[in-house]
């Protein structure tokens, strides 16, 4: 039985995790941590910070709150030898370094997306990348998401770029030579992979990877229609993480 504390437990993602993880036979959500007490505790206790949690009552901390909170959680878990699963995106280089330092003291899993479908779509994109001339990514999220591009699109773009490099392909060159409106062609990552970010109410998390070659195209699309879609991946991560020092980036290594 994995005893879990959820940081950001009053948020929409925290509530979805508390509900979904609480239904699993081998997981027990013991505490929800947030500045404000959640309206629904899902059978767990409440604490306003990790400092108010007895470390003897838990095995793993799950943090889907903010970059600043993720660093605090990493430092706390490192000091108390508790596993940590981070789903927060938008960490700065300094914040990322703090998480990596904590991973020298305990096990940490950090991923940009905990949907199994999203992980597989990234894997499929890397498989397709060497066989197409160009590729662009469109990521679509709800209008409360603060960072852009999404961590998922950045991870996907890097996987595509790495696959093209491994195949000995040159970087892609944008054929557009004149932009009537600056930025209309999106953001460009390594090897010329373009990313376009959409933020609209009503969306949750969606991504299209569009490949093109002479006479054909391939679109790989993934949709998370509800936040409950991330529960399965989080469960995989928290079952795998331990207090042994390690840093695992992404879910890919856990999915055969």
Three-state SS letters, the chain: CEEEEEECCCCHHHHHHHHHHCCCCCEEEEEEECCCCCCCCCCCEEECCHHHCCHHHCCEEEECCCHHHHHHHHHHHHHHCCEEEECCCCCCHHHHHHHHHHCCCCEEEECCCCCHHHHHHHHHHHHHHHHCCEEEEEEEECCCCCCCCCHHHHHHHHHHHHHHHHCCCCCCCCCCCCCCCCCCCCEECHHHCEEEEEECCCCCEEEEEEEEECCEEEEEEEEECCHHHHHHHHHHHHHHCCCCCEEEECCHHHCC
pLDDT value of residue 89: 84
Q: What is the pLDDT of residues 206-244, one digit of tens each?
A: 999 999 999 999 999 999 999 999 999 999 999 999 999
Taking the C-alpha atoms of residue 181 and residue 78, their distance in angstroms, rounded to an integer, is 47
Taking the C-alpha atoms of residue 177 and residue 197, their distance in angstroms, rounded to an integer, is 21
Q: What is the pLDDT of residues 138-173, one digit of tens each?
A: 999 999 998 899 989 999 999 999 999 999 999 999
pLDDT value of residue 191: 82
Taking the C-alpha atoms of residue 236 and residue 67, their distance in angstroms, rounded to an integer, is 22
- Choice among 42, 141, 194, 222 that is catalytic: 141
CA angle 94, 87, 95 (to 5 degrees): 5
- The model's pTM is 0.83
CATH code reported for the domain at 116-224: 3.30.360.10
Q: Of 35, 38, 219, nearest to 124 (Cα)? A: 219
> What are the residue boundaries of the structural domains of the chain, listed by start?
2-110+227-254, 116-224
Q: What's the whole-number average pLDDT of the chain? A: 95
The CATH class that applies to domain 2-110+227-254 reads alpha beta
Q: What is the pLDDT of residues 18-75, one digit of tens each?
A: 999 999 999 999 999 999 999 899 999 999 999 999 999 999 999 999 999 999 999 9
pLDDT value of residue 190: 78
Q: Of 19, 2, 10, 3, nearest to 230 (Cα)? A: 19
Catalytic residue flag (residue 141)? yes
- Choice among 80, 105, 142, 145 that is catalytic: 145
Catalytic residue flag (residue 206)? no
pLDDT value of residue 81: 97
Q: What is the pLDDT of residues 78-127, one digit of tens each?
A: 999 999 999 988 899 999 999 999 999 999 999 988 999 999 999 999 99
pLDDT value of residue 76: 98
């Amino acid at each position: 039985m994995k005893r879990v504390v959820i940081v950001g437990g009053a948020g929409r993602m925290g509530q979805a995790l508390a509900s979904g993880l609480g239904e699993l036979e081998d997981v027990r959500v013991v505490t929800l941590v947030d500045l404000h007490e959640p309206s629904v505790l899902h059978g767990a206790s409440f604490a306003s910070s990790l400092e108010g949690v007895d470390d003897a009552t838990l095995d793993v901390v799950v943090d889907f709150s903010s970059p600043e909170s993720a660093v605090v959680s990493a430092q706390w878990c490192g000091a108390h030898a508790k596993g940590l699963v981070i789903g927060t995106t938008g960490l700065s280089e300094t914040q990322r370094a703090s998480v990596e330092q904590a991973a020298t003291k305990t096990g940490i899993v950090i991923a940009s997306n905990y949907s199994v479908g999203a992980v597989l779509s990234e894997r499929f994109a890397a498989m397709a990348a060497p066989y197409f001339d160009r590729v662009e990514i469109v990521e679509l999220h709800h209008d409360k998401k603060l960072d852009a591009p999404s961590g998922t699109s950045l991870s996907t773009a890097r996987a595509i770029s790495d696959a093209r490099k491994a195949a000995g392909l040159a970087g892609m060159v944008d054929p557009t030579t004149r932009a009537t409106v600056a930025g209309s062609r999106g953001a460009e990552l390594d090897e010329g992979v373009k990313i376009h970010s959409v933020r609209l109410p009503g969306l949750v998390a969606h991504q299209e990877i569009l490949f093109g070659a002479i006479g054909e195209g391939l679109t790989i699309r993934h949709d998370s229609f509800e936040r409950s879609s991330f529960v399965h991946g989080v469960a995989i991560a928290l079952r795998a993480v331990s207090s042994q020092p390690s840093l695992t980036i992404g879910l890919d290594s856990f999915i055969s």
